[in-house]
Amino acid sequence: MAYTWIPFYRELAEKLLQYKNDRSRLIEWIKTDLNKLKASGGHSLISYLTGNDDLKKRNDIDPFTLFEVFNREYSKGELGIKEILLMFHDEFGLSSEVPSDFEGIPRIKNSFATYLKNKSITSDFLWKLFEKILHNNNVSSDFDFLVSKGIPVDFLSTSFYWVVPNNFLPLNDSNKKVLQMYNITSEINTYEAYESLMEKVRELQTNRDVSFKSFIELTASAITLENTDRIWMWRGDKSTFNSNIIECGAGIKDIMKISINTTREDLRANYQEITGKKDFGTVSIYWDFIHEAQVGETVVVFGNHNAGRRGHILYGWGKIISECKFEYQSEDFLKRTVEWHDSSLQNIQKESLTQNPKFFHSVNGIEAANIIKRLNINIETNSKTIERLANLTQRLISSESNKFEALQNNNPREKYTKLDFLKDVFVNNQDYERLESLLLRKKNLILQGAPGVGKTFAAKRLAYALMGEKNDDRVMQVQFHQNYSYEDFVMGYKPNEEGGFELKNGLFYSFCKRAVADRGHKFFFIIDEINRGNLSKIFGELLMLIENDYRDKPIRLSYRDELFAVPENLYIIGMMNTADRSLAMIDYALRRRFSFFEIKPGFESPQFMGYVKKQMNPHLDRLVKAIIELNNVIECDDSLGSGFCIGHSYLCNLVDKNDLDNIVEYDIIPMLREYWFDNNNRFNQEAQKLREAVK
């Protein structure tokens, strides 16, 4: 999809800013030329605007109100949106072509009052806000102010989206329905909650099973789903297809003269008068059958499963080919003729419908799209739309199905306690207590040690133990390297599909927003090889924010005019290899913000000794003793030290004896070569001891 409206809207927004400090010419054009636009009834298309107090009495206007002019739900027969935009194009001398498509534009209801109806909101405020949005500045306080003045969040977010659609997600009804499918709540009333919601959606877009990869694609897909051709559902079974007639009305023909009820209200009144019941649901079914269902529309036959099974059976479909007929000589005297599809009975499909659906009712949107997809229904009108929404819905339904199956299988997250940690990680109880205390107090902890001591393994298990469960949704792990930057970590400009650049949030920024949205739980950000990166360059101004005393104390970010804070419930665990001579030491500014804990080889821990005993491998027994002796030599070497010892993880997860040969020859001995590159005698002596152990 080209989305040709985006560059047009953007250029128009930039042009409007030229009138920020002098709106007189703009107002004159509205009152004269723009006011000439006529609706189907002959009145001005912008009468709602020219009658507005601010334009009429104060002689003022704001840019959001102007954008509303071509983003309202004009009824059929009124002037086309393209013709309205052509007037803007010519008046402001835009170089962008008038849009040829309007996919992904949510429109506001014609009855909605503009910002200017609210006396406490000034035009000057709105012009400044418009400029902030356009130039990527922080709008959190402005957003919260407008909400406090009664501006609905759906309208607020939608008007922001019109200006910069890549940065703001409209919370219109159609988008809310899609978000609900992913259990993302859209009921928010602060900018912090709105930003958190958008971050969840951005994270969702990285899922390869999700078809939308931007706010624009999500909005376009959601609007398409909302406008899906409706289909009618008729309760029946296989025998329904034996006749081309569907019929109902038994029990009511003698008490209601349905044919003379010209409105739904007449039918309700007559039904209530004769039966004494207010069963408006039943009335609606018959009204829909008689009046609402149209010739050419699709009808799908559905039925219930046997007791104890979820969902319904979809038996097949057909096309309604007659108006409702009244045959009073029959018990079921209301009749419609249906042309059944040839392959109706070839594939019986399961489908989840609403609980206890009426025997005749309509569905549209996501539910209709899914049925269309499952039964391969040919809806000739708007077939491209059906294809697009069916593909989207297939992914949505697949995602929901997976969630449902997980719930049905009653598969809660696995619990993880201190005892599990001590069983998995070869440290003692005292070390665990110290690790827990350091991380909870300082919130930032670095696990340092020699290669192979299990630092990364221990970091993740420590997070699990402090959460009380194995929950990777609240753990994020990254690895630093020489090219890792602030743009990757916090935010920065990245290339987009249009050949330009757009501001993207980094991993740490996004993870902080997730933690902010769920303050009742702990979140853990794990950084492998933390000393491989340029830490001052990566953290930037966040170097101060990660400090325990500065949690939840915001400062203004450099790339975006936004106040940002690292939340209290986020914990950072870094890992540092002490044996790599090529790595720089942690600078002192960052060092004082972390606690450091050295993880030592666990060969003599009770857990590891138990593991070795279970292996019943004499070669392993001898190798463990040889490595313990080797580590004593390394620790006493003035040029090395304890940070260069050999870790126990080299010997974990063994399969057979050949593993030991390979580990010694191709993992450990090459490392010793690096240690004693200037002492061949020492290297050869220690290497030979290891080889002898596994013979």
pLDDT in tens, 55-91: 555 578 889 988 988 887 754 333 467 888 888 999 9
Residue 284 lies in a domain: yes
Q: How does DSSP assign 629-649, residue by residue? A: HHHHHHHH-TTS-GGGPPPGG
**Opening angle at CA 592, ends 526 and 558, nearest 5:** 70
Same domain? For 594 and 610 the reply is no
β-pair type (570-577, 444-449) = parallel
Residue 434 is predicted with a pLDDT of 93
Do 54 and 90 belong to one domain?
A: yes
Q: Using CA atoms, how far apart are residues 486 and 490, in angstroms rounded to an integer?
A: 5
Tell me phi and psi for residue 517, to 5 degrees: -75, -10
For residues 267 and 558, what is the distance between their CA atoms, to the nearest angstrom?
Answer: 65
Mean pLDDT of 292-316: 76
Say if residue 323 is in the same domain as residue 432: no
The burial class, CB within 10 Å (0-12 / 13-18 / 19+), for 133 is: buried
Q: Please say whether the beta carbons of 231 and 362 come within 8 A.
A: yes
| Closest to 256 measured CA to CA, from 360, 328, 361, 359 | 328
Domain end (from 598, 623, 642): 598
Same domain for 610 and 592?
no
Which residue has tokens 């007659």? 322
**What's phi and psi for 152, nearest 5 deg?**
-65, 140
Closest CA to 228 of 396, 365, 371, 379: 365
Query: What is the separation of C-alpha 521 from the centre of its chain, rounded to a whole number of angstroms?
Result: 19
Say if residue 654's pLDDT is above 50.
Answer: yes
CATH number at residue 477: 3.40.50.300
Residues 95 and 137 in one domain: yes
Question: How many C-beta atoms lie closer than 10 Å to residue 237's C-beta?
Answer: 12
* Residue 179 tokens, joined: 């978000």
H runs (alpha helix) in 17-103: 24-31, 47-50, 53-56, 63-69, 81-92
What would the pLDDT profile of 21-41 be if each residue is shown by its tens digit? 888 888 888 888 877 766 555
| Residue 223, domain member (yes or no) | no
CATH number of the domain enclosing 282: 3.10.590
81 and 141 both lie in a single domain: yes
For 553-568, what is each residue's pLDDT tens digit?
A: 888 888 877 788 899 9
390-394-399-402 Cα dihedral, nearest 10 degrees: 150
Torsion of CA 485, 486, 491, 497, to 10 degrees: -20
Residue 643 and residue 554 in one domain: no
Res. 307 pLDDT band, cuts 50 70 90: very low
User: pTM of the full predicted structure?
Assistant: 0.51
Report pLDDT for 639. 85
Token code pair at residue 484: 């890792």
Tell me whether residue 243 is in a domain: yes
Percent of the chain with pLDDT over 90: 25
Tell me the β-bridge partners of 248. Answer: 334
Residue 486 lies in a domain: yes
23 in a structural domain: yes
Q: Judge residue 638's burial from the number of C-beta atoms within 10 Å of its C-beta, 0-12 exposed, 13-18 middle, 19 or more buried.
A: exposed
Distance CA 126, CA 624 (A): 72
Q: What is the mean pLDDT of residues 577-592?
A: 65
Average pLDDT, the chain: 80
* pLDDT at position 10: 92
- Rounded average pLDDT over 288-301: 88
Question: Does residue 336 lie within any of the structural domains?
Answer: yes
561 and 519 housed in the same domain = yes
Question: Do 347 and 326 share a domain, yes or no?
Answer: yes
Give SS3 for 284. Answer: helix
**Stated length of the chain:** 695
Whether residues 515 and 577 share a domain: the answer is yes
Nearest to 223 by CA among 288, 158, 152: 158
What confidence category does residue 402 fall into, taking pLDDT thresholds of 50, 70 and 90? very low
pLDDT single digits (tens) 452-461: 888 999 999 9
Domain count of the fold of the chain: 4
Q: How confident is the model at residue 329 (pLDDT cuts 50, 70, 90)?
A: confident
Compute CA distances 166 → 218, 506, 690, whole Å. 11, 16, 60
Strand order in the sheet with 570-577: 475-479, 523-528, 570-577, 444-449, 595-598
Query: What domain range is 672 assigned to?
Result: 606-693
**Nearest Cα to Cα of residue 285 among 192, 344, 356, 346:** 356
In a domain, 222, yes or no: no
Please state, as a whole number, how many other Cβ atoms lie within 10 Å of the Cβ of residue 543: 16
Asked if residue 203 is part of any domain, the answer here is: no
